[in-house]
Amino acid sequence: MGTNTPFTIANPLDDNSVIDRWHHECHAGKIYEFHYDNLSLASSGTIYLHIKTGAKDAHIDVQFAVLGGHLQVQWYGAPTVGTAGTVVSCINRNRNYKNVASLTTMDIGPTVTTVGTVLFGARTLLGAASSQSKAGSNITGDAERILTSNTDHLVKCTSVGIIAFTIDGLFYEETPE
């Protein structure tokens, strides 16, 4: 019979433990989160989220939620973007590390000349509003997308009716194994 050794971080119960990639990257200080609120996007209004990746592919998981009318979301690659919009802060989820991703930029509301090539087809989030109650919907996470390094990406959000919506996301950048 072996000696019972208590579990600690320095002494895991099983040397062959497996943790998922997101969990591993968070512990390594490589998971960043971002958030954007728009509390009154006008009917038929459009706003763009511009993501320009750095020297590494970026694994991204984004959630959209809507309250009010409907929100159509579509992803594009290789857009032509002019003036940058408002910077979206990327915060490291592991507070032992700094907020310095190699991601070149993430901004909301840039000037867009052309949207580029469709990467992911349009998804529509359905919401409804009445004087008694409001209903909303969301596109949840677990839909990881891998964005190619050194490229521009655009997420187009278009409203049907006046809406409030949020964008929440996580990403990490690939590191050599």
Element (H, E) at 24: helix 21-27
List the chain pLDDT tens, one digit each, 177 residues: 445 555 555 555 555 566 777 788 888 888 899 999 998 899 899 999 999 998 889 999 988 888 878 889 999 999 999 999 999 999 998 888 887 777 778 999 999 999 999 988 788 877 765 544 555 666 655 578 889 999 999 999 999 888 888 898 989 888 755
Which of these, 173, 156, 154, 157, lies nearest to 78 by C-alpha position? 154
Q: What is the pTM of this model?
A: 0.80
